Amino acid sequence: MANVKETSTNSVNRRFLTSCDMTYAVQLMGGRWKLLILMRLAGGKLRFGELRKFLPNITERMLTLQLREMEEDGLLIRTVYAEVPPRVDYALTPIAHDLVPICQHLHSWGASHRKAHVGQASPMAHTEAVPQ
Amino acid sequence: MANVKETSTNSVNRRFLTSCDMTYAVQLMGGRWKLLILMRLAGGKLRFGELRKFLPNITERMLTLQLREMEEDGLLIRTVYAEVPPRVDYALTPIAHDLVPICQHLHSWGASHRKAHVGQASPMAHTEAVPQ
DNA sequence: CAGCATCCAAATGGATACTG
DNA sequence: CAGTATCCATTTGGATGCTG
């Protein structure tokens, strides 16, 4: 496309509109997918297709968008290998790693709250396995 | 108002579509405002107008919507006093209180990440367009 | 004071088809 | 394999006016 499209997925636009650190954190990790991606990558780097398998309900488009934003925000490193077929993997940056324990607390909180409130929690822990 | 409008802001709809505890937590506390509301209420109950003052950028409509959802999700208690003028206050439930320390960690993370990462970008850190 | 109703714009999320 | 492009649906956010 000749039309150079300034995507609205611009980290400069997304990141600096607040002076509140909490709002900033929410902007970086908010949305439906980023915390799940972070948890998946906590165990080590993964390829695009592996992430997709672990997040069964995400579309390719959304996974791509979220990964790009997280990369722009300094949360992960994208490595492209010059091979055929193509290979790309994603790894957390140290700063993103700092967030992992916080996410685990959030996960535990969700588990206990859901158990207390719904009466039953699924044993599948981190796995997003909603049948569609 | 014979027209019964089934709002989509139904907690049953919002809450039980996942079998992943992390997704569940994200659904409860996701969005732009809920974590900020939670932090504000961590110090004790507040009235609607007080919350609004502390969250200068939120509209009345959004504050109302977020508070209602959090109430439906068992995160806060809404108390209406039979007075004129009306008085309503909001207080966290124990379960929401459990989330407070996690939020504080997230806040600290946001602060250090922003300091580390935005150091080169813009000096607008604590002063500019968005008050607070 | 603490809201609700209405209308509207923007952002986000998704289905499907296609590609280097 | 790892994405793009396009179109569409849903959700979120906001401006304004009104009310018990």
**CB B51, CB B60: distance < 8 Å:** no
Using the CA of A80, give the nucleotide whose C1' is nearest: D2
| Bond prior to B85 in cis (omega within 30° of 0) | yes
Cα(B35)–Cα(B101) distance, integer angstroms: 12
pLDDT computed for residue B118 by the predictor: 63
> Quick one: CATH architecture of B32-129?
Orthogonal Bundle (1.10)
Between A93-97, B45-49, B116-120, B128-132, the lowest mean confidence (pLDDT) is in: B128-132
For residue A24, the chain B residue with the least C-alpha distance is B110
C-alpha distance from residue A69 to each of A75, B94, B99 (Å)? 9, 35, 26
Across the interface, do B19 and A109 touch by the CB < 8 Å criterion? no
Angstrom distance, B53 CA to D18 C1': 22
**Gap from B85 CA to C13 C1', Å:** 42
Sheet bearing A87-92, strands edge to edge: A46-47, A87-92, A76-81
Token pair, residue A120, equals 């039953």
The answer to whether B58 CB sits below 7 Å from nucleic acid chain D is yes
pLDDT at A4: 34
Indicate the pairing of strand B46-47 with strand B87-92.
Answer: antiparallel
Across the interface, whether the CB atoms of B132 and A28 are under 8 A apart is answered: no
Q: Which 3 state secondary structure label does DSSP give A82?
A: coil
pLDDT at position B20 is 85
Query: Which residues sit close to strand C, CB under 7 Å?
Result: A 8, 14, 31-33, 57-62, 85-86, 132; B 1, 5, 47-50, 60-61, 64, 67-68, 78, 85-89
Q: How far is A78 from chain B, CA to nearest CA, in Å? A: 18
Domains in chain B: boundaries: 32-129
What is the value of pTM for the model shown?
0.82
Give residue-wise pLDDT tens across range B32-85.
899 999 999 999 999 999 999 988 788 899 899 999 999 988 999 999 999 989
The answer to whether B74 touches B116, Cβ cutoff 8 Å, is no
**B121 Cβ partners below 8 Å, 6+ apart?**
A12, A16
pLDDT tens readout for residues A48-81: 999 999 987 899 999 999 999 999 999 999 999 9
Answer with the residue of higher pLDDT: B116 or B94: B94
- B12 pLDDT more than 60: no
Contact residues, chain A, for B109 at CB < 8 Å: 25, 98-99, 102
pLDDT band at residue B4 using 50, 70 and 90 as cut-offs? very low
A91 has pLDDT over 90? yes
